[in-house]
Amino acid sequence: MREHQETKKEILNLAEGLLRDRGFNGFSYKHISSALDVKNAAVHYHYPTKSDLGVAIIQRARRGFQKWTQNSKMQNLDFPKKLDEFFGIYRYFLKCGQHVCLGGALETDFKTLPIEMQQETRALASDILNWLQELLKKGREAGSFSFPGNPRDQAIVVLSSLQGALQMVRATDPSYLNAAMKQIERMLKT
């Protein structure tokens, strides 16, 4: 018997990995319960429905991203270093075992998701895009970045490319994520 909070957190950790690895329709309560060596019903005790579980994954990720952006270590970095720290998130997913990012998994499965999950997915995408847009805007104003057009459009390209590259890796080569990041850096060079 574990403690409540411990099992609950383990479920969430595992489920998030499964979601990034296999998509929301590609994992089941059985995957979780057998991996944690508990029964199906124990998982349902902590997260009654799969939608509850999905929502919890996304909300935690949003809180984590918020905390990450406000982290004091982050605040002291210059703009290109901040961008590279952001790239680090995607490098981590690759290292995890070629996981895709949460946004990519959720948006691809979007039409099959319960509406509560759809709403959280929208909020997650908005959080990340807004932060990236601000980074690019201020970075260009400070002379650290150079790009044509407006920061929003550039943020869309950068984010969508990272998301897409992380998926593409699976059908091509792991080096393609790094290739995309290097090329993005080149394109933003002053």
Q: How far apart are CA 117 and CA 58, in angstroms?
A: 8
Among 10, 52, 107, 116, binds its own copies (CB under 8 A): 107
Packing angle, helices 175-188 and 79-95, rounded to 10:
170
Binding part of the chain for its own copies, among 8-16, 37-45, 61-69, 110-118 by CB under 8 A, reads 110-118
Q: Is 100 left (phi over 0), alpha (psi -120 to 50) or beta?
A: beta
Q: Any contact of residue 51 with its own copies (CB under 8 A)? A: no
DSSP 108-157: HSGGGS-HHHHHHHHHHHHHHHHHHHHHHHHHHHTTS---SS-HHHHHHH
Tell me whether residue 51 or residue 69 sits nearer to DNA (CB atom). 51
- Residues lying near its own copies in the complex (CB under 8 A) are found at 21-23, 25-26, 98, 100, 103-112, 118, 121-122, 124-126, 129, 147-149, 152-154, 156-157, 159-165, 167-168, 170-172, 176, 179-180, 182-184, 186-187, 189
- Residues lying near DNA in the complex (CB under 7 A) are found at 1-5, 7, 27-31, 33, 37-42, 44-46, 48-51
